[in-house]
């Protein structure tokens, strides 16, 4: 039995673990005792992360849709039902049914030649900007970099985006304008020594359990834990102060906290003078948000607001954490700016054990942003509109690059609906489940002339693809993941890829060769070298340096640089930190008579994202086999809903059926639905209204109604 050290493929914590491999079979997991994040612990998903890797559902061969017009062969040999004659051998074996659309297996050469031909044709007839590319926060840095290079250098478009658009694009946007860098400022290992921990809009103990562990350690050492969340989840139960503000009122809450800080003289004037700008204008706005006004808007008592303000401001070692609860609003960028203002106001940034810490949700969402898998920047956040940056990349890549910024994820789908976008190449993403307003997403995908999906499983999105490419999972390839604290860590190959699946980086290289651009890398470390060459913050990060350590935290500017524990030391990344005043704006949709509830969506502890991995894991699927709707007991009584009754939740966009979870963990008037379940997809309901700057949809608030269905409770698996 061999034990291969690697990094967990789930959340942004980036825990170290060992995959146990026996005779080519992955048979278990154990935590790494000395890893700085996990320290010998793992969460339930980490402990069970081995099971999906060799699941029988894995895609093992490239698949080409049969009813696509280009394939005349299929007309000659009409598809037969796959089970007719024993199912093995002959033509039947190569037929695959998928909800009435038919795929046939193909060789890599055929599939890639086909894609190359189609993409070239579309590029030549409709222009490069008629192609959109979605990269993946689950893939390695090297793969994201290559995907970005593929979109920009091979296809010639800046239409590249990934799911960070849906989680932390507001953080990037909000912090870029205030601090100059959109990453977590401090490190996870500092948390245990903090004195005050203020968590807003993050279910840390469930979604970043190992960060939650460090917070609990801090509490054990006497730190004060304050949580602002409309739900009373585990971290809120452990908190000393829990602010149950209404969803979508974060700006009002934060502004009134800052109002107290300013009025009570808790501001760090020296810091503001030396390190920041634009304070005066900001102060004018804040003066309008007295705690009483805050109370009226948020539902949190003015006293609690004052308490939180005093506690946060009084300690030097105060850490502020936020996550999706802040970002997934139409005011996402404003929310983030408000958080940044709060940190600057009290000098809680730029030294250890403080900072503004956005918790990233995917194992490599930080890395894929760093790698420039977003329309407006190259790797290392070098803007595509910046001529000198562009010149550098043009020189290295040997092509001329598009000057104009590209489309974001939601904009791509919208463009497709308007017939502006003809083709999409989706790597390791499942927008049908993860993007708001499923109906529109499906409509957009159906309209595409050509859709390539590259994934490890047949996802709901792959159903609409013309070509499906089988990729290797995290255990089957080399590469690096960047966790939420900017730590670039190496993952290691434990087993050979399933069937004929290939690592994503290899697929991209092969495809670009077919399209006439020679991407020639022996292994991911060569890609990393190129990344280091072109990306200042990754300059010193090379595979051989990652081999004998727990990774390096960027910025790491040369090969001897030890990595950076916390950002904005001595000065902000943009020079002076900028106070940007923000006003409270109500959510796009407010509850009304017809739709009386605020619906907020998120993740549950046992499932992960669109469930492609967790729903194929026995223990995790058993724990949360169905979609449950958290509803307050008072509301439930009013609507005659009993615990575990089947209910229907509707919004202006659609409705789903799910099981009621009557609880007192959520405030009255609000309901919560996890979005993992394709059979009851919460994103059928969500509002695709976007933040004007970051284009992040408002997942966290929409108006909904709840009805009881007179039907017996469905059985559980």
Site for another protein in 56-85 (CB under 8 A): 56-57, 60-61, 82-83
Out of 458, 467, 541, 660, the residue judged to bind another protein by CB under 8 A: 458
Out of 67, 287, 590, 618, the residue judged to bind another protein by CB under 8 A: 618
CA distance 276 to 575: 8
Binding mask of the shown chain, residues 668 to 687, with x at each position contacting another protein by CB under 8 A: ----------x---------
Q: Are 691 and 333 in contact (CB under 8 A)?
A: yes
Nearest to 172 by CA among 12, 15, 375: 375
Q: Nearest approach, Cβ of 122 to another protein (angstroms)?
A: 27
- Long-range CB contacts (within 8 A, 24+) of 67-72: 67/101, 67/102, 68/466, 70/114, 70/118
Q: Nearest approach, Cβ of 548 to another protein (angstroms)?
A: 7
Nearest to 491 by CA among 464, 469, 514, 472: 472
Q: Which residues contact 358 (CB under 8 A, 6 or more apart)?
A: 168, 171, 175, 182, 183, 184, 321, 322, 323, 326, 327, 336, 484
Nearer to another protein, 93 or 419 (CB): 93
Question: Site residues for another protein, window 477-496 (CB under 8 A)?
Answer: none
Any contact of residue 463 with another protein (CB under 8 A)? yes
Q: Nearest approach, Cβ of 31 to another protein (angstroms)?
A: 7
Number of residues forming the site for another protein (CB under 8 A): 77
Any contact of residue 316 with another protein (CB under 8 A)? no
Out of 230, 611, 674, 688, the residue judged to bind another protein by CB under 8 A: 611
Question: Site residues for another protein, window 99-158 (CB under 8 A)?
Answer: 99, 105
Q: Are 698 and 686 in contact (CB under 8 A)?
A: yes
Sign of the alpha-carbon dihedral angle for 420, 422, 428, 429:
positive
Interface segment toward another protein; rule CB under 8 A; list 173-181, 215-223, 272-280, 397-405: 215-223
Any contact of residue 665 with another protein (CB under 8 A)? no
Any contact of residue 234 with another protein (CB under 8 A)? yes
CA distance 331 to 173: 12
Interface segment toward another protein; rule CB under 8 A; list 97-105, 140-148, 379-387, 417-425: 97-105
Question: Alpha carbon 608 to chain centroid distance?
Answer: 11
Q: Which residues contact 124 (CB under 8 A, 6 or more apart)?
A: none
Interface segment toward another protein; rule CB under 8 A; list 70-78, 213-221, 303-311, 502-510: 213-221
CB-facing half-sphere around the CA of 135: CA atoms within 13 A: 36
Q: Nearest approach, Cβ of 28 to another protein (angstroms)?
A: 3
Nearer to another protein, 550 or 597 (CB): 550
133: DSSP letter: E
Three-state secondary structure call for residue 198:
strand
Residue entry with tokens 């930190």 = 577
Any contact of residue 646 with another protein (CB under 8 A)? no
Q: Are 629 and 672 in contact (CB under 8 A)?
A: yes
CA distance 489 to 470: 24
Any contact of residue 470 with another protein (CB under 8 A)? no
Binding mask of the shown chain, residues 546 to 585, with x at each position contacting another protein by CB under 8 A: --xxx-----------------------------------
List Cα–Cα distances, 63 to 95, 150, 241, 502, in angstroms. Answer: 9, 21, 54, 13
CA distance 568 to 575: 9
Any contact of residue 249 with another protein (CB under 8 A)? no
Question: Site residues for another protein, window 31-60 (CB under 8 A)?
Answer: 31-34, 39-44, 46-47, 50-51, 55-57, 60
CA distance 230 to 75: 57
Any contact of residue 715 with another protein (CB under 8 A)? yes
Q: Nearest approach, Cβ of 160 to another protein (angstroms)?
A: 28
Q: Nearest approach, Cβ of 499 to another protein (angstroms)?
A: 7
Cis peptide before 526 (omega within 30 of 0): no
Q: Nearest approach, Cβ of 716 to another protein (angstroms)?
A: 5
Nearer to another protein, 423 or 627 (CB): 627
Give all strands (DSSP E) within 499-645, no chain letters.
552-553, 577-578, 597-602, 628-632
Nearer to another protein, 24 or 692 (CB): 24
Q: In the chain, what is the straight-line distance between the N-terminal and C-terminal CA atoms, in Å?
A: 33
587: DSSP letter: -
Binding mask of the shown chain, residues 167 to 206, with x at each position contacting another protein by CB under 8 A: --------------------------------------x-
The token pair at 607 is 């499932």
The token pair at 176 is 């870029």
Out of 24, 90, 499, 562, the residue judged to bind another protein by CB under 8 A: 499
Question: Site residues for another protein, window 503-542 (CB under 8 A)?
Answer: none
Q: Nearest approach, Cβ of 700 to another protein (angstroms)?
A: 24
Nearer to another protein, 394 or 657 (CB): 657
702-708/597-602 β-pairing: antiparallel
Q: Nearest approach, Cβ of 98 to another protein (angstroms)?
A: 6
Q: Nearest approach, Cβ of 710 to another protein (angstroms)?
A: 14
CA distance 417 to 697: 17
Out of 71, 120, 189, 238, the residue judged to bind another protein by CB under 8 A: 238
Any contact of residue 30 with another protein (CB under 8 A)? yes
Nearest to 587 by CA among 347, 335, 373, 392: 335
552-553/487-491 β-pairing: antiparallel
Out of 8, 11, 66, 96, the residue judged to bind another protein by CB under 8 A: 96
Three-state secondary structure call for residue 174:
helix
Q: Nearest approach, Cβ of 453 to another protein (angstroms)?
A: 13
Nearer to another protein, 14 or 372 (CB): 14
């Amino acid at each position: 039995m061999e034990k291969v050290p690697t990094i967990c493929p789930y959340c942004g914590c980036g825990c170290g673990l060992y995959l146990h491999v026996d005779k080519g079979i992955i048979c278990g997991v154990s935590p790494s005792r000395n890893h700085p994040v996990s320290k010998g612990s793992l969460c339930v998903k980490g402990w069970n992360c081995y099971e999906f890797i060799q699941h029988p559902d894995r895609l093992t061969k490239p698949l080409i849709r049969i009813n696509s017009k280009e394939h005349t062969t299929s007309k000659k040999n009409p598809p037969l039902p796959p089970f007719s004659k024993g199912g093995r051998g002959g033509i039947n074996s190569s037929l695959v049914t998928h909800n009435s659309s038919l795929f046939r297996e193909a060789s890599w050469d055929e599939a890639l030649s086909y894609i190359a031909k189609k993409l070239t044709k579309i590029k030549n007839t409709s222009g490069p900007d008629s192609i959109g590319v979605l990269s993946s926060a689950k893939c390695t840095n090297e793969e994201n970099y290559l995907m970005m290079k593929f979109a920009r250098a091979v296809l010639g478009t800046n239409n590249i985006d990934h799911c960070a658009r849906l989680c932390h694009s507001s953080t990037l946007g909000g912090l870029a304008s205030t601090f100059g860098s959109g990453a977590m400022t401090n490190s996870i290992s500092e948390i245990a020594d903090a004195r005050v921990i203020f968590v807003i809009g993050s279910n840390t103990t469930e979604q970043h359990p190992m960060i939650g562990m460090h917070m609990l350690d801090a509490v054990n050492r006497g730190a004060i834990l304050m949580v602002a969340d409309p739900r009373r989840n585990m971290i809120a139960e452990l908190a000393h102060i829990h602010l149950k503000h209404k969803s979508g009122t974060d700006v009002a809450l934060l502004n009134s906290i800052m109002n107290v800080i300013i009025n009570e003289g808790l501001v760090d004037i020296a810091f503001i003078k030396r390190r920041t700008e634009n304070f005066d204008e900001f102060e004018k706005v804040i003066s309008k948000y007295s705690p009483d006004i805050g109370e009226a808007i948020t539902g949190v008592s003015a006293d609690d607001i004052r308490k939180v303000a005093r506690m946060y401001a009084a300690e030097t070692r105060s850490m502020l954490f936020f996550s999706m609860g802040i970002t997934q609003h139409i005011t996402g960028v404003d929310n983030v700016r408000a958080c940044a203002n709060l940190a600057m106001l009290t000098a809680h940034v730029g030294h250890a054990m403080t900072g503004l810490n956005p918790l990233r949700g995917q194992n490599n969402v930080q890395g894929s942003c760093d790698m420039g898998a977003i329309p407006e920047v190259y790797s290392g956040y070098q803007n595509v509109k910046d001529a000198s940056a562009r010149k550098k990349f043009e020189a290295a890549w040997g092509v001329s690059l598009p000057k104009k910024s590209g489309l974001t994820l939601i904009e791509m789908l919208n463009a497709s609906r308007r017939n502006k976008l003809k083709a999409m190449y989706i790597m390791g993403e499942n927008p049908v489940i993860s993007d708001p307003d499923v109906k529109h997403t499906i409509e957009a995908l159906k309209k595409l002339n050509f859709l390539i999906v590259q994934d490890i499983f047949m996802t709901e999105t792959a159903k609409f693809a013309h070509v499906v490419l089988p990729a290797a999972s995290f255990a089957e390839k080399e590469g690096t993941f960047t966790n939420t604290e900017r730590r670039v860590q190496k993952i290691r190959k434990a087993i050979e890829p399933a069937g004929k699946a290939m690592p994503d980086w290899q697929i991209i290289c092969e495809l670009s060769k077919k399209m006439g651009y020679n991407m020639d890398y022996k292994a991911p470390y060569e890609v990393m070298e190129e990344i280091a060459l072109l990306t200042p913050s990754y300059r010193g990060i090379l595979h051989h340096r990652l081999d004998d350590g727990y990774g390096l935290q960027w910025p790491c500017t040369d090969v001897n640089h030890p990595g950076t524990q916390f950002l904005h030391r001595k000065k902000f990344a943009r020079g002076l930190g900028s106070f940007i005043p923000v006003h409270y704006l109500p959510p796009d949709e407010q509850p009304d008579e017809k739709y009386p509830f605020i619906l907020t969506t998120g993740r549950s502890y046992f499932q992960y994202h669109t469930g492609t991995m967790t729903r194929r894991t026995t223990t995790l699927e058993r724990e949360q086999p169905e979609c449950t709707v958290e509803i307050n007991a008072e509301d439930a009584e009013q609507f005659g809903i009993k615990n575990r009754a089947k209910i229907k939740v509707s919004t202006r966009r659609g409705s789903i059926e799910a099981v009621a979870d009557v609880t007192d963990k959520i405030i009255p008037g609000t309901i919560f639905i996890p979005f993992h379940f394709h059979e009851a997809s919460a994103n059928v309901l969500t509002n695709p209204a976007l933040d004007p700057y970051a284009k992040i949809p408002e997942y966290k608030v929409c108006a909904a109604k709840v009805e009881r269905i007179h039907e017996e409770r469905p059985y559980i698996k």
